[in-house]
Amino acid sequence: MMSHTVEVDISQQPSGLRFAANFNAAVLFIDRHISEGRGAKIAIQTCDTAITYAELAANVNRCAAGLVRLGLERGDRMLMIVKDCPAFFYLFWGAIKAGIVPVPLNTLLRSNSYAYMIDDSGAAALVYSPEFAEEVLTGIAGAVRAPRTVLCTDGAEYSLAALLAVSDPEFEAVPATADADCFWLYSSGSTGQPKAAVHRHRDMVVTSQRFGVETLGIREDDVFYSEAKLFFAYGLGNNLTFPLWVGATAVLNEHRPGPSTSFPLIKQCRPTLYFGVPTLYAAYLQHFTKERPDLATVRQCVSAGEALPAEVLRRWYEETGLWIMDGIGSTEALHIFISNTTGDIRPGSSGRIVPGYSARILDECGAEVADGESGQLFISGDSTARCYWNNAERTATTMVDGWLNTGDTYRRDAQGYFYYCGRSDDMMKVGGIWCSPFEIESKLVEHPEVVEAAVVGRVDQEDLVKPEAFVVLKEGHAGSTALAAELMEFCKDGLAPYKYPRWVNFVAELPKTATGKIQRFLLRPKAGGQPANG
Ligand code: 3UK
């Protein structure tokens, strides 16, 4: 078995991660723990089960063997619409071990998005949790070319559970290299069509070591709890790669995060590291008068996904005695590349560059700006995606000479602290998840009374961004509170639930350029329409 392992030289910090010529990440993140004597330790904890490292390794092998038996081959893509549960781990690592490329998808999406991703990826297989059957099966029906193999994790006759039951618990990792393609993650674009960031075997090692170990200080005795789900790059790092890198324990919540599902689990599993998003920190603060989570064992809270308003940070500290470490990451970079650190938390700042990464802030001409001035943030580091799948144009504009254009406007002060100043495009983050104005506008104009619509980000009383719609109605129709409510419901029905506009304004016309392009920036309540921190 160990012939496929790697030597990652983690003694050479921060300069040298050395990968063996033959490198399959699954050996390091899964099998290593058996050879290092962690077989009996709990790797995954849920509200009703605990999976040891030995069980995890055996099920990863069964999954790899089972997928191969189903006819999946090296390089084939396997879409995963799977809730946070042990099967997510078996599928993700089983695929990687067999040289199959897992592609975890956002489980909140609708069938048309799944249909698009099935066709865009040319996936050979798709695995889903029974909870998502309706949207997933409709998506498959709507795709031009359905995946050859479709598997439900359990509950169905032809299920992953049944496959594991008849598969071998031993599996030799397929030879790979640190630079070989390993897994993909989709990221949304401003025109609404998502694009897949292609990540390599080494990328998870780099994020686990650079941000996990060297910045956050993750350890073997940690218990990880992530409110962000595993299908986000943020959640995938927090709860899947980081714990498995140091041989720690991950706590999984298969339900939507919120006081009723998270608080009992936190009480039961006693995490030491807590990963949230600004929207949830703010929502929990609102809820504190009724009920509080038991954070007695937590030594560090982390936030990412969107800017953490300074006020939320301060109030969380007042209420819990815990500082939140805000950091910016992206799907393309895989995890956090600029971050605050324990003992050095600057409210309103994203912190400083994470070791192993470099940042440049450029003006429109591509020249580096002076300290204190804002510009486009570019970063480089060893965990950035090789390319976007099947999209040479976006690859060429986003990944330039080893630098990744983050699409964010930032400024850096003389001490090296970075301050978020908004997006450079029209995209917005709602609850840490991408929201394309174009997608919401397209939905609104499907309504029989709507002629056209423009959507922008507006900050709410918590300083967090939510979509706001400006709608032009057909002649003879008048705006009303009832119609505004109807349009919100209409959007909730056809879009991922977090994407509906929280405010609807009826207007006579929309501001347009001479070429007819909507000038969304003229509709934004203030420059950038972004949180007023920093
Ligand atoms: C925004 C932030 C200000 C920013 C992510 C941690 O969010 C993640 O990845 P996505 O691809 O989005 C990336 C974009 O989100 N953003 C994220 N964090 C912050 N803006 N302050 C922050 N702290 O626009 C960025 O370009 O969904 C976060 C780890 C892994 C991730 N993928």
Q: Kindly report, residue by residue over 455-477, the tens digit of the pLDDT.
A: 999 999 999 999 999 999 999 99
Delimit the domains of the chain by residue range. 2-38+51-192, 209-424, 430-528
Q: Do domains 2-38+51-192 and 209-424 have the same CATH topology?
A: yes
Mean pLDDT for the chain overall: 92
What is the whole-number distance in angstroms between the Cα of residue 195 and the centre of ligand 1?
A: 16
At residue 512 the predicted structure's pLDDT band, cuts being 50, 70 and 90, is: confident
Tell me the mean pLDDT in the region 5-16: 54
Going across the sheet that includes 450-459, the strands are: 450-459, 465-473, 503-506
274-309: pLDDT as tens digits: 999 999 999 999 999 999 999 999 999 999 999 999
Please report the atom of ligand 1 found closest to the CA of residue 434: 27
314 to each of 51, 272, 318, how far by Cα in Å?
Answer: 37, 20, 6
Vertex 231: Cα angle to 115 and 182 (nearest 5):
85
Most ligand 1 atoms within 8 A of CB, residue of 224, 429, 433, 530 to mutate: 429
The CATH code for residues 430-528 is 3.30.300.30
Tell me the mean pLDDT in the region 14-27: 83
Residue nearest to atom 25 of ligand 1 (CA): 330
Ligand 1 and 420: CB distance under 6 A: yes
Any idea what DSSP says for residue 331? T
Q: In whole angstroms, give the CA distance from residue 523 to residue 468.
A: 9
Q: In whole angstroms, give the CA distance from residue 299 to residue 307.
A: 21
Classify domain 209-424 by CATH architecture.
3-Layer(aba) Sandwich (3.40)
pTM of the model: 0.90
pLDDT number for residue 145: 97
Q: In whole angstroms, give the CA distance from residue 59 to residue 411.
A: 47
pLDDT number for residue 533: 36
Please report the atom of ligand 1 found closest to the CA of residue 432: 7
Classify domain 2-38+51-192 by CATH architecture.
3-Layer(aba) Sandwich (3.40)
Ligand 1 and 409: CB distance under 6 A: no
Residue nearest to atom 7 of ligand 1 (CA): 305
pLDDT number for residue 4: 46
What is the whole-number distance in angstroms between the Cα of residue 493 and the centre of ligand 1?
A: 26
Ligand 1 and 335: CB distance under 6 A: yes
Residue nearest to atom 8 of ligand 1 (CA): 330
